Structure 1
Amino acid sequence: MATAVTWEDTTMRITVLTVPDCPHGPPARERIDQALDGRRAEVELVEVADEAEAARFGMTGSPTILIDGVDPFAVPGVPASVSCRLYRGPDGRVEGGPRVADLQRALQVADAAADCGDLPMDAAGRAGRGRLAPTAGGLRAVQQAVLRHFAATGRAPGPGDLDDIAASHGRGAADVLAELAAEDFITVDGQGRIRAAYPFSALPTAHRVRFPDGTEVWSMCAVDALGIPAMLDTDAVITSSDPVTGDAITVIAADGQMDWAPPAAVVYVGQRPCTGSAADVACGALNFFTGRRTAHIWAGQHPDYAGKAVDQTCAEALGRAVFGSLLTQSGPA
């Protein structure tokens, strides 16, 4: 059952998923109103009756809040569920819903993602189809196993590392990897070895991400690097360099926030006007720059890429939008 409160000229859709008579549903709705603070939005209240509906809607406990279809508070690895959901704030306190301040921050990120909507990100986002593989044929299970292997070890898994998970879906690992590559969820070489599983690269790139346990990974591009902390729900240190000057750029992700150095750093977002994998079409253009001046210089030197420099908030939002939910959804696509 769903009820909706709608205002005209809305650009944001908020869905509150709850089980019937959930005591945390009304307080969550009130906090959403406080976070909106008068701005226009479409708020839909949806009662979810069983596990199948929870998987279909993307509900991982009651209440689950979706902003434009994305759960900004998703915890990696948590399955769909009609159980009670609790939210832990930065102070460690557990509540039955996200705090107003957390909702406000999530709305700001969603706004930034919407503001970036005119960017040439077709390749990076698979022309609107997203980077999350479908469940059929074990594609999503293998994709997520590949991503977790990269995160844990800093390197790509071999087919042998994926045999068991592929076999559980009645398939061979090589066949699943070939299908994932055909749909541009990963890239492989002529021997079927993984060379990239967006956002990770098995080969050195200009963008390095270090986790608190010391593990380091390469990312395919700047947007990919910015999406990794959200995807893994972890702190991280991102290091890169300006392609024009060689000057260092550092982004420290901690407690859901990012601190950039130098403060004027930006990301250029662009792609070639052709078809192909994101690695071929877009990744060469998604770079960090120390400022807009060097980004414009680089753009002038690379007229085959169409795009523009975007600010830090927009770049962070793009990373979250493309990669943030890759490990939080395990049910049907």
Structure 2
Amino acid sequence: MRITILTVPECPNVPVVRERITQALDGRAAVIDLVEVSEEGEAARWGMTGSPTVLLDGIDPFRILDAPPSVSCRLYRDTDGRTDGAPSVQALREASMPQAAEGQDCCEATDLLDPTGRAGRGRRAPAERGLRLVQQAVLRHFATTGRVPEAALLEAVAAQAGRSAGEVLAELDHEDFLTLDASGRIKAAYPFSAAETRHQVRLANGVSVSSMCAIDALGISAMLGQDLTVSSTDPVDAQPVTVSFTGGAATWEPAEAVVFVGRREGEGPAAAVCCDALNFFASQGSAEQWQSTHPEVRGEIVSQARATRIGQQTFGPLLQNG
């Protein structure tokens, strides 16, 4: 988790909020950044609505709807109605330990799906600092052309937030909304991959794109709101597996196909720790065979319905406004 404290210079409440954050974390690991903001234009770019503003992985969990950018002092209201210059320890603890919504299958195996859904934080970038604008522009370009956009094409989009495309892309990469190569070019923007993968998606507009993994592929129809066909292969024997989405309904071939959902040990972006471990298999037996020969991958075999729900819940909201 990355915690960013946005503050005006010499804000008296910064020591208070830092101490409360430490108490709320209770030993859990987190990167804490302190960013000084002096002008309202800069406050608008960061999503700061007063000092101090606390961002958890780029999101202000205490934001008041329609609150304007501000470099004035910020007040927080406790559950008992009292105001304070910093969020309470309890409020910070609850905000930094989100609970899965009841009935969401994508959270039933949270430890396995942490990279896929950014530890329950979702794959839709925050609206602040132009992150969502650029993320959505990248995804729409992929869906329209099948190719990754050049950074120059994103400059006008990033400029709406007063930033350069390079700055926004670097932050999106850092927070694992997409991945960049050493030269700053986009390698992947979940669910799409710039490099060819075993998971090919044929869109209704005739465009073909590669998907990062089976779960990503299953979420694209809901994200774009269009019919499509996913074509993949079983990693064991290369048997074809196809999933056709028509009017939101999925048809699988072969009918007994399943999906393995897993991840490798260690931390890192989804592209590194789990994308190659989320695959289609032509049968339960084939998936079990692959699982037995890959002890380094923790995971489970899931049904067609559950795999589809995970994909839809993870990627369906990415192009939504608001």
Give the TM interval when normalised to the shorter protein: 0.5 to 0.7
List per-residue Cα deviations over 1:186-207 (Å, max 9, x = no partner).
0000010000000000000000
Structure 2: gaps of 5 or more residues: 1-64, 67-101
How far residue 325 of structure 1 moved from its aligned partner, in angstroms, is 0.5
- Partner amino acid, structure 2, of 1:228: I
Provide the residue aligned with 1:211 in structure 2.
Answer: 203
Provide the residue aligned with 2:130 in structure 1.
Answer: 138
Quick check: 1:265–1:289 contact (8 Å CA) kept in 2?
yes
CA distance in 1, matches of 2:178, 2:198: 19
Provide the residue aligned with 1:255 in structure 2.
Answer: 247
- Partner amino acid, structure 2, of 1:199: P
CA distance in 1, matches of 2:268, 2:187: 16
Stretch moving more, 116-125 or 206-215: 116-125
CA distance in 2, matches of 1:294, 1:276: 28
Q: Is 1:326 aligned to residue 318 of structure 2?
A: yes
Aligned CA distance change for structure 1 residues 121 and 296 (closer, same or farther; 3 Å): same
Quick check: 2:106–2:310 contact (8 Å CA) kept in 1?
no
- What fraction of aligned residue pairs are identical, expressed as a percent? 50
CA distance in 2, matches of 1:312, 1:164: 41
Q: Is 1:169 aligned to residue 161 of structure 2?
A: yes
CA distance in 2, matches of 1:304, 1:322: 25
2:139 to 130, 137, 147: 147
**Structure index of larger Rg:** 2
Quick check: 2:127–2:133 contact (8 Å CA) kept in 1?
yes
The 5 A counterparts of 1:1-333 are 111=103, 113-114=104-105, 117-118=108-109, 120-329=112-321, 331=322
- Partner amino acid, structure 1, of 2:310: L
Stretch moving more, 138-147 or 117-126: 117-126
Quick check: 2:105–2:310 contact (8 Å CA) kept in 1?
no
Looking at both structures, which has the greater relative contact order when contacts are Cα pairs under 8 Å and sequence separation is at least 6? 1
Stretch moving more, 222-231 or 210-219: 210-219
How far residue 116 of structure 1 moved from its aligned partner, in angstroms, is 6.1
- Partner amino acid, structure 1, of 2:163: R
- Partner amino acid, structure 2, of 1:118: A
1:319 partner SS: helix
How far residue 212 of structure 1 moved from its aligned partner, in angstroms, is 1.6
1:134 partner SS: coil
With the length of structure 1 as denominator, give the TM-score of the two structures. 0.65
Structure 1: gaps of 5 or more residues: 1-51, 54-109
CA distance in 1, matches of 2:105, 2:230: 24
How far residue 115 of structure 1 moved from its aligned partner, in angstroms, is 7.6
CA distance in 2, matches of 1:239, 1:176: 32
Quick check: 1:116–1:314 contact (8 Å CA) kept in 2?
no
- Partner amino acid, structure 2, of 1:117: E
CA distance in 1, matches of 2:192, 2:282: 23
1:156 partner SS: coil
- Partner amino acid, structure 1, of 2:193: S
- Partner amino acid, structure 2, of 1:324: G
Quick check: 2:264–2:296 contact (8 Å CA) kept in 1?
yes
Report the number of matched residues: 222
How far residue 273 of structure 1 moved from its aligned partner, in angstroms, is 2.1
With the length of structure 2 as denominator, give the TM-score of the two structures. 0.67
